[in-house]
Amino acid sequence: MHVVVIGAGVVGVCTAHWLRAAGHEVTVIDRRANVAQETSFAPAALAAPALAVPWSAPHMPRRWLRQWLRPHGPVLLRPGLTPANWRWLLRWLGESRARQFALNQDRLRRLAVYGQDSKLALIAARNLPVTDRPGCLRLFRSERELAAAQAALPALAEAGFLVEEAAPARCRELEPALSDETALAGGLSLPDARTGNCAYFTRQLKYALVAAGVDFIFRAEVSTLDLSGGRPRLKLRATHEPDDPDATQGPTAVPATLDADAVVLCTGADSAGLLRRLGCQPGFVPIRGYSITLGIRRHERAPLAAVIDEATGVSITRMGNRIRVAGGVELGGPREPSASGPVPEALWHVLRDWFGGAADTACPQMWVGERALLPQGTPLLGATPHPAVFVNLAHGSHGWTLAAGAGRAVADVVGGVAPQIDLDGLTLASLRR
């Protein structure tokens, strides 16, 4: 069976791996000049099932409101929110009820654990280099925040996650460069959490898939997906993306049409239009997140692994000789990456609080990515009303954690095989409740 995957981020490329492993002929299409050029380019470098928490947690509405009202808070609701944005916010408030959140939490963590296991299997199958680093430290500025997190420790332990409580002195043993000028009530250490470079991983997987016979068509957009004949026919048009020096293959002619037996949409928020054509109301909205990647100027002031500032949700991660600061929530308005906007300012502020003087701030690499997010914070996987169209969407900020498991489950559904994981609450049927 010939399967076309639309979207070459980490989710799409992982999906292509599992489809090829199942024996399918696979073609991956992307409008950019290489894989991982949009949402997968520079997200937070954390991949940790224990951190896979839906954004609909009961404390999140108060936290978002508090951070939105701060002058340089990491939450920005832009003027001119659309009716769809307001509907999403209202449903998000409803999903933050404790009982509903617990249900969504269980679904997301189930997929996250499956994703971790599937990623290890993928790495072994494709003999990929392992560059992940272990360890993440959650930092709490107040006793109140710490106590709330400690209340959730029994549930984490029951789920099999290793979490160690850390007094301030222990936090500074784990991360000696932490500023002693910033209030620190304590921390939670996650030794099994992993940090890594999502874009690098996706490129390495692409190289392996090309060698395994997967075709990649870059600089191509799907102008029309014709489903009238039963078998999908894609009409393509070339984009005008500049060359990517990291690409292993030069520009190739974009075919005018491409026939397939099945199509998998891994295109995030851009999938909304097609889903409506299929009779589905997508339910997700694009939520923007930011990151700043900088070279290290003073290594003695830099983090050793990764920390999360729990007051803001901003992460600071060591990536070799670089540091990545990531986080923020931006809803509505145009995508305008800027080093001086409200959300980037919040990221700079957190970096200065914990690791002031560590980074070379002269040439920051700014990134902003749009991520499709449902109010309940769980993804959409599997079948659609059309028997030849499938989805792997709406992973929110957890795409790097979920990608391998989500791709594996969707590949099973495409091939008519029962997935090894329960997809209850993770399919388009969940939008109808």
What's the CA gap between 116 and 128, in Å, rounded? Answer: 15
Asked if 337 and 216 sit in the same domain, the reply is no
Asked if 298 and 177 sit in the same domain, the reply is yes
Q: Is residue 28 assigned to a domain?
A: yes
Q: Is residue 53 assigned to a domain?
A: no
Asked if 70 and 148 sit in the same domain, the reply is yes
Q: Is 27 helix (H, G, I), strand (E, B) or coil?
A: strand
Last-in-domain residue among 344, 373, 402: 373
Asked if 30 and 175 sit in the same domain, the reply is no
What's the CA gap between 174 and 165, in Å, rounded? Answer: 12
Q: Is residue 51 assigned to a domain?
A: no
Asked if 211 and 274 sit in the same domain, the reply is yes
Spatial contact of 36 and 9, defined as CB atoms under 8 Å apart:
yes
333: Cα within 13 Å, side-chain hemisphere: 11
3-state helix, strand, coil in the chain (%, to 5): 35, 25, 40
Instruction: Note if the pTM is more than 0.75.
Output: yes
Asked if 333 and 309 sit in the same domain, the reply is yes
Q: Of all helices (H) and strands (E), which one includes residue 158?
A: helix 153-158
Asked if 277 and 402 sit in the same domain, the reply is yes
Q: Is residue 116 assigned to a domain?
A: no
Digitized pLDDT (tens) for each residue of the chain, 433 residues in all: 999 999 999 999 999 999 999 999 999 999 999 999 999 999 998 999 999 999 888 888 888 888 887 777 788 888 778 898 999 999 999 999 999 999 999 999 999 999 999 999 999 999 999 888 899 999 999 999 999 999 999 989 988 999 999 999 999 999 999 999 999 999 999 999 999 999 999 999 999 999 999 999 999 999 999 998 879 999 999 998 887 766 655 557 899 999 999 999 999 989 998 898 888 888 999 999 999 999 999 999 999 999 999 999 999 999 999 999 999 999 887 666 555 688 899 999 999 999 999 999 999 999 999 999 999 999 999 999 999 999 999 999 999 999 999 999 999 999 999 999 999 999 998 776 5
Q: Is 265 helix (H, G, I), strand (E, B) or coil?
A: strand
Asked if 219 and 356 sit in the same domain, the reply is no
Spatial contact of 45 and 197, defined as CB atoms under 8 Å apart:
yes
What was the pLDDT predicted at 336? 62
What was the pLDDT predicted at 286? 92
Asked if 264 and 290 sit in the same domain, the reply is no
Last-in-domain residue among 354, 373, 392: 373
Q: Which residues of 295-324 are buried (b: 16+ CB within 10 A; e: fewer)?
A: ebeeeebbbebbbbbbbbbbbbbbbeebbb
Spatial contact of 414 and 390, defined as CB atoms under 8 Å apart:
yes
Asked if 75 and 169 sit in the same domain, the reply is yes
Asked if 279 and 289 sit in the same domain, the reply is no
Spatial contact of 268 and 262, defined as CB atoms under 8 Å apart:
no
Q: Give how many domains the chain has, as a whole number.
A: 2
| β-bridge pairing 25-29 and 2-6 | parallel
Sign of CA dihedral 217, 222, 227, 229: negative
Q: Is residue 414 assigned to a domain?
A: yes
Q: Is residue 6 assigned to a domain?
A: yes
Cα–Cα distances in angstroms (integers) from residue 229 to residues 173, 226, 259, 262, 280, in the given order? 64, 7, 11, 13, 20
Residue 328: give its domain's CATH number: 3.30.9.10
Q: Is residue 329 assigned to a domain?
A: yes
Last-in-domain residue among 329, 355, 373: 373
Domain with 63, as residue range(s), is 59-81+133-194+285-373
| β-bridge pairing 233-238 and 220-226 | antiparallel
Asked if 326 and 290 sit in the same domain, the reply is yes
Spatial contact of 216 and 30, defined as CB atoms under 8 Å apart:
yes
What's the CA gap between 2 and 207, in Å, rounded? Answer: 20
Residue 415: give its domain's CATH number: 3.50.50.60
Q: Is residue 103 assigned to a domain?
A: no
